[in-house]
Structure 1
Amino acid sequence: EADAAALREAGVAAVYTPKDWDLNRMMRDIVTLVGVRYGVDTAVGA
């Protein structure tokens, strides 16, 4: 956890550790981060 805190302080947007096993959630987070960075709406429409 200390490494994760140091990375966040350095500006890393998201830190994943072995306890973060939900790949779908991680991919959703990554898509959201990229969308925010580039001003793209990543909402999934019906």
Structure 2
Amino acid sequence: GRSAEIEYWPTFDPTLSDGSREARMAAYREVRDTLARRIAERFPR
């Protein structure tokens, strides 16, 4: 059978952010950018 390698990337939960709409959106963007960077580093082209 095939096995899978599992990685855990602790990530901030943006639903927990407070403040203005822009502050909450910034939290989501930060998570998005962090995940995009980690994926690009893990799977280089």
Question: Structure 1 length as normaliser, TM-score?
Answer: 0.40
Q: Please identify the structure whose Cα radius of gyration is greater.
A: 2
- Structure 2 length as normaliser, TM-score? 0.41
